[in-house]
Amino acid sequence: MEHNGVRLLSLSDSALCIELGQGIDRETNGRVHALCRAINAASIAGVAETVPTYRSLAVHYDMLKIGQAELIDALLPIIDGVGSGEQAEGELVRIPVLYGGEWGADIETVARLNSLSIDEVIAIHTAPEYPVYMLGFLPGFCYLGGMDARIAAPRLKTPRVRIEPGSVGIAGEQTGIYPIASPGGWQLIGRTPLSLYSPAREKPILLEAGMRIKFYSINRAEYERIRAEEEAEWAK
């Protein structure tokens, strides 16, 4: 069904999708997170989980406690109460990155493709605050918005078999951080010593949808120091 420009789609007998737009942009994603917060605050009996994406929100519910029609009736006034996408700014998390060298083997390629120096790539990459639109693909992998198109670069023609945890990459007009070791085809420009995903932590995933990221450049000594602090924390 459609309600005031918002589509409500049944995903299953225990999940509903609320689609707030067709494009990927900060305003639509802001409205997604505002709606997510509003639904969670309403504490609707039977709602088990809300999962935000770029432009929609999945609502998982216990069908033994609430039916889909009843759930929709409860959701419609909440949807109507959510504004045009203006949202309270999420927590800002500063992410240290050691750029270039063995930690960012493709930074020269990114610079060459865009007729920039390596220092210019780093300056452009560290300038914005990146909104975390959603999580997916890997535990703790953030889909970020806001990358400057001046440092855009295509995916590798042949993906790497293994990318180290913390690797910062670029694919098209997106940038992201690999939270765990995995194959991947993004152009690697650096690596953070922070652990984005650690199952041993009380809060395993460092970043959440709705947060903001600000990258900053560090040298190798700083990288090693922060990494040692992380490893000491794991050992506790």
Note the pLDDT tens digit of each residue in 43-85. 999 999 999 988 999 999 999 999 999 999 999 999 998 865 4
Q: How confident is the model at residue 210 (pLDDT cuts 50, 70, 90)?
A: confident
Could you tell me if 177 and 121 lie in one domain?
yes
The residue segments making up the domain with residue 40 are 2-81
Q: With respect to residue 87, please indicate whether it lies within any of the assigned structural domains.
A: no
DSSP E strand stretches across the chain = 2-3, 6-12, 15-19, 47-52, 56-61, 92-99, 130-135, 142-144, 160-163, 167-171, 174-177, 182-184, 187-191, 212-217
Question: Mean pLDDT, the chain, as a whole number?
Answer: 92
pLDDT score at 90: 81
pLDDT score at 191: 98
Q: With respect to residue 164, please indicate whether it lies within any of the assigned structural domains.
A: yes
Least confidently predicted of 32-41, 43-52, 118-127, 225-234: 225-234
**Contact criterion met (CB below 8 Å) for 187 and 221:** no
In 3-state terms the chain splits into helix, strand, coil percentages (rounded to 5) of: 30, 30, 40
Identify the domain boundary among 81, 101, 125.
Answer: 81
The single residue listed with the structure tokens 């890997």 is 138
- Cα separation, 225 vs 218, in Å, equals 11
Per-residue pLDDT tens for 157-204? 999 999 999 999 999 999 999 999 999 999 999 999 999 998 888 889
- Give the count of beta carbons closer than 10 Å to the beta carbon of residue 106: 19
- Cα separation, 55 vs 18, in Å, equals 9
pLDDT score at 209: 87
Cα 166 vs. chain centroid, distance in angstroms?
A: 14
pLDDT score at 24: 79
Could you tell me if 56 and 149 lie in one domain?
no
Q: How confident is the model at residue 8 (pLDDT cuts 50, 70, 90)?
A: very high
Least confidently predicted of 17-21, 23-27, 203-207: 23-27
Identify the domain boundary among 52, 81, 110.
Answer: 81
pLDDT score at 87: 56
Could you tell me if 115 and 207 lie in one domain?
yes
Q: With respect to residue 86, please indicate whether it lies within any of the assigned structural domains.
A: no
Provide the number of structural domains found in the chain.
2
Could you tell me if 128 and 230 lie in one domain?
yes
- CATH number of the domain at 116, please: 2.40.100.10
- Cα separation, 225 vs 51, in Å, equals 36
Tokens matching residue 77: 């006034």
- Cα separation, 160 vs 171, in Å, equals 13
pLDDT score at 234: 66
pLDDT score at 84: 55
Per-residue pLDDT tens for 108-129? 999 999 999 999 999 999 999 9
Say what the pTM is.
0.82
Concatenate the DSSP letters of all residues of 163-228 into one string.
Answer: E-TTEEEEEBTEEEE--S-EEE-SEEEEE-SS-SB-TTSSS-BS--TT-EEEEEE--HHHHHHHHH
| Closest to 56 measured CA to CA, from 35, 78, 83 | 35
Q: How confident is the model at residue 10 (pLDDT cuts 50, 70, 90)?
A: very high
Identify the domain boundary among 46, 81, 116.
Answer: 81
